[in-house]
Amino acid sequence: MENIATTLIAIGFLMLFQPFALALYTYSFITMLAGTVMFIIVSKFPE
């Protein structure tokens, strides 16, 4: 699950720094925020 959260954060960064589509830029912060919150929650789970 941590890998999914990390991938979601990376996708958010790619969406933020791409110059092509405004819609991707618009949702980039929400995507990064969701990945960050997911990473914080998932990292608390026991292995």
pTM value? 0.89
**Per-residue pLDDT tens for 4-45?**
999 999 999 999 999 999 999 999 999 999 999 999 999 999
The gap from C-alpha 45 to its chain's centroid, in whole angstroms, comes to 19
The gap from C-alpha 41 to its chain's centroid, in whole angstroms, comes to 14
Using the predicted structure, report yes or no on whether residue 47 has a pLDDT greater than 90.
no
